[in-house]
Amino acid sequence: MKLYYPNAIKMPCPHYNARPNGPKGVVSLLVIHNISLPAGFFGGNYISELFAGTLDCEAHESFDELNGLKVSAHVCIRRDGKILQYVDFAQRAWHAGVSVFEGVAGCNDYSVGIELEGTDNHAYTDAQYASLQDVTCYLFSQFPMMTSDRIVGHNTIAPGRKTDPGDAFDWPRYLSALA
């Protein structure tokens, strides 16, 4: 069964695989990330191209380190609130990397990854918060083990390695909108 957010624009992405069978593969965690390509640049198609594996790594000097990288997220929310879905929620996207939540390693196995187009220190938009709230409520309706106390930033599950969604992300605003 494929599971897509109804209002998302579906984007093809080859970087995913099946979740493991059994308890480890039960979706119960939401991980919030940020992304901009190149760093601090908003708009354009570079994010989608990265997730599709079609990014021209010669298009910008900072893209050298992305050559051959195979990553994805389930969803990316653009600055205007537009929701792009790369991986069906029932599948394992490759967004968390080396990660642990509450002593359970391999967060990709049991999480959904949402990228916000942004940076750690650049305020997110009202449209992004509205779309993130909508997608989160949808996920809560589909995955009963996912609750507001099981929403974390990438920095929480990969401390010392990741900093997103950063200080600019307004956790109280987001979480209070879910109550």
Write out pLDDT tens, residues 166-176.
999 999 999 99
What angle, rounded to 10 degrees, do the helices at 171-178 and 126-142 form? 40
Residue 61 Cα to chain centre, angstroms: 24
What is the C-alpha separation between 108 and 101, in angstroms, rounded?
11
pLDDT band at 43 (very low <50, low <70, confident <90, very high): very high
Work out the percent of the chain whose per-residue pLDDT is above 90. Answer: 98
- Is the domain covering 9-33+72-178 a CATH 3.40.800.10 domain? no
What mean pLDDT comes out for the span 15-30?
Answer: 97
pTM greater than 0.95 (yes/no):
yes
Which residues 6+ apart lie within 8 Å of 41 measured at CB?
A: none
Tokens describing residue 70: 């195979």
Query: Taking 90 as the threshold, does the pLDDT of residue 1 lie above it?
Result: no
pLDDT at position 34, please? Answer: 98
Q: How far apart are CA 84 and CA 21, in angstroms?
A: 27
Q: Using the predicted structure, report yes or no on whether residue 86 has a pLDDT greater than 80.
A: yes
In 12-108 the beta strands, taken as DSSP E runs, fall at: 16-18, 29-35, 75-77, 83-85, 91-93, 100-101, 104-105
Q: Which of 79, 18, 75, 27 is nearest to 51 (CA)?
A: 75
pLDDT in tens, 144-165: 999 999 999 999 999 999 999 9
pLDDT above 90: residue 179: no
**With 80 as the cut, is the pLDDT of residue 117 above it?**
yes
Active-site residues, by number, are: 115
Q: What is the mean pLDDT of residues 118-143?
A: 98
Rounded to the nearest integer, the mean pLDDT of the chain is 97
Provide the residue ranges of all domains of the chain, joining segments of one domain with +.
9-33+72-178
